[in-house]
Amino acid sequence: MKYLDGKALYYAFVSGANEVTRQRDTLNKINVFPIADGDTGSNLVFTLRAIVEEAGIAESAKQTMDSISDAALVGARGNSGIIFAQFIRGMNVGLGDVKDISVQDFVDAAKRAVPYAYGAVANPTEGTILTVMHDWAEALGGLYDRVKDFEDLFAQSMDAVVASLEDTPNRLKVLKNAAVVDSGAKGFFHFLEGFYRFIQQGDASELVVEPDSIVLDVDEHYAIADEDIPFRYCTEALLTGQDLQSDAIKAALAGFGDSLIVAGHEKKIRVHMHTNDPEAFMLRLRSFGSITQQKVDDMQRQSDVIHRRKAPIALVTDSIADIPQEVLDQEQIHMQPLNVMMEGSAYVDRLTITSSTIYTLLDAMAEYPTSSQPNGKAVEAMFGFLVQHYESIIVVSVAQGLSGTFQTFTNAAKRFQDQGVRIDIVDSKLNSGAQGLVVVKAAEAILAGKDHDTVLGMIDDFIAKSKIFVSVHTLKYMLRSGRVSSAMAVAAKVLNLKPVVSLDENGKGSIFGKAFSARGNTKLIQKSVKKIHSDQGIEDYCIVHASAPERAAEYARIFTDMTGREPKYIMDVSAITALSAGIGSTGIALITR
């Protein structure tokens, strides 16, 4: 094979993607840098799958490479995935306008790609995928005038790739301590191996390859790094605009965390960073252009699951459930965020947008934000991770009558259930603090050693005993979100009506009562809770609010005096709940005895 046309180039990428997919679990297991969160293989597969699914085959190899480069950038995920996408972009720029790619064209493009990959990373580290890319390109540069075709080029250059890969522990201490090679670098090696196999076969119909021809010494158990996680969230965004400047974006984000990568071009840029404040990161980034994609992975939770898992049952809920972060961490509860659709982008509830921030932006927006259930692929990815580490999964969803989230969970679980994995999806018929309390009680049961069926029965019992009462301070936000009519909003304003909102037994929102002041609402809720406490007793309760800490503190005093116990927790509601409840809303959720 002396030339690569558009079709051969595409299928060589498919073959490379297939090989990385086969090696995904091993790549995840040896992932210790920059964080031991066990997802490098998955991120590379996600990136390469975007190429396979989205890139098109053109008659011209250059046009095919244009399509591959764009698909890689849009679909890139994780440190190694984004560096790989930028390397491909560098190759694309280096190709020039060629119909078929010669050996010399390919070598020149690979050498041109190296500074693109290094330039995307704010603080390049040797002993990673960058090093292997560099060493491979250097090997190619010394070969192209001495080889007769692509098969010869790859046959003579792969030894340099293996040597570079096996040397990564000598360049990076964390790898040596864990006795592994770099996961991203190994992923790049497997991509090249698959690419090479296609060149040897030369037939798009023969893409099933043999097992590894080169065996590396890899521990089959997950490697454990000896470092803490200083920045918890792996945060990514795809930014579009005109005249985007990578250096300006790097400078603006420099203080938000580490592992900063800015890849792309003047109209489309993929940004990656590890940070403790995804919201501040995203709000800063929006000043540069339109954010068309957002992703946040909790690396601390991933690491805890792999190395410090507390129970055999995974407990999952969604971001509508109000549960403090410290409780989520202590009980190892997994939270799948919903999305807030704002300015054409899906912001990640609780992570890249919170209730306190969204209220500062609302009045300046011509279009009121809306909520959106989780992306089905994101839920599948979460399940795919959990099934590798847990015996079974229980999901407690926001009320089906309030959101399509329950159905999203159900659809995503089916593929795994068909393979014999036990995943049960429970409609809580609740939201906010009431949903949160049920989830926390379920987590406590799991950590106490209860089996799967027992926990399911307890969840049903907790749901039946749960109540929530929310005092709505103003109908302004319900009006803007379309949850009440303009006539009702005007009447309420004229009469100064303050509704108390609750949920019926089917999880549908309902008006529990009305008063003419916030104080009247408080008394109405106080009276109702007092009767419940007298008749049934209250086992647990929490206070939730929408940017109303003073009212929440007042509720805490009232109900502490009434029940003789402090609330389990007090917290702000999710951004999505805040959009409908409105600023100033305050509520109590409880579970009876």
pLDDT tens readout for residues 133-163: 999 999 999 987 889 899 999 999 999 999 9
The count of C-alpha atoms lying within 13 angstroms of the C-alpha of 592, restricted to the half-sphere facing its C-beta, is 17
Task: Round to the nearest angstrom and report the end-to-end CA distance of the chain.
Answer: 75
- Average pLDDT over all residues of the chain: 89
Please indicate whether residue 468 or residue 515 has the higher confidence score (pLDDT): 468
The two structure tokens encoding residue 449: 């050693």
Question: Does pLDDT of 441 surpass 50?
Answer: yes
- Tokens of residue 278, six digits: 């995804």
Give the strand pairing for 422-427 and 392-397: parallel
The pLDDT of residue 218: 37
How far is residue 268's CA from residue 245's CA, in Å, rounded to a whole number?
A: 10
For residue 545, the model assigns a pLDDT of 95
Q: Is 90 exceeded by the pLDDT of residue 456?
A: yes
Provide φ and ψ at 19, rounded to 5°.
Answer: -65, -40
pLDDT at 425 over 70: yes
- The pLDDT-based confidence of 377 (bands split at 50, 70, 90) is confident
- pLDDT classification of 541: cutoffs 50, 70, 90: very high
Identify the weakest region by mean pLDDT among 51-65, 158-172, 250-264, 511-525.
Answer: 511-525
Q: Where are the beta strands (DSSP E) in 210-256?
A: 233-240
Segment 69-77 shows an average pLDDT of: 95
For the segment 255-268, the average pLDDT, to the nearest whole number, is: 94
**pTM for the full predicted model:** 0.86
pLDDT of residue 476: 60
- pLDDT value at 256 more than 50: yes
In angstroms, the CA 248 to CA 254 distance is 10
Q: Over range 544-565, report the average pLDDT.
A: 95
When pLDDT is averaged across residues 557-570 and rounded to a whole number, the result is: 96
Range name among 293-302, 311-320, 366-375, 527-536 with the lowest pLDDT average: 366-375
By C-alpha distance, which of 186, 217, 187, 178 is closest to 36? 178
Tell me the β-bridge partners of 592: 538
pLDDT digits (tens, 9 = 90+) for 221-231: 555 555 578 99
Whole-angstrom distance, CA of residue 281 vs CA of residue 570: 26
Please, what are the domains in the chain? 3-201 (1.25.40.340), 231-300 (3.30.70.980), 309-342+360-464 (3.40.50.10170), 466-592 (3.30.1180.10)
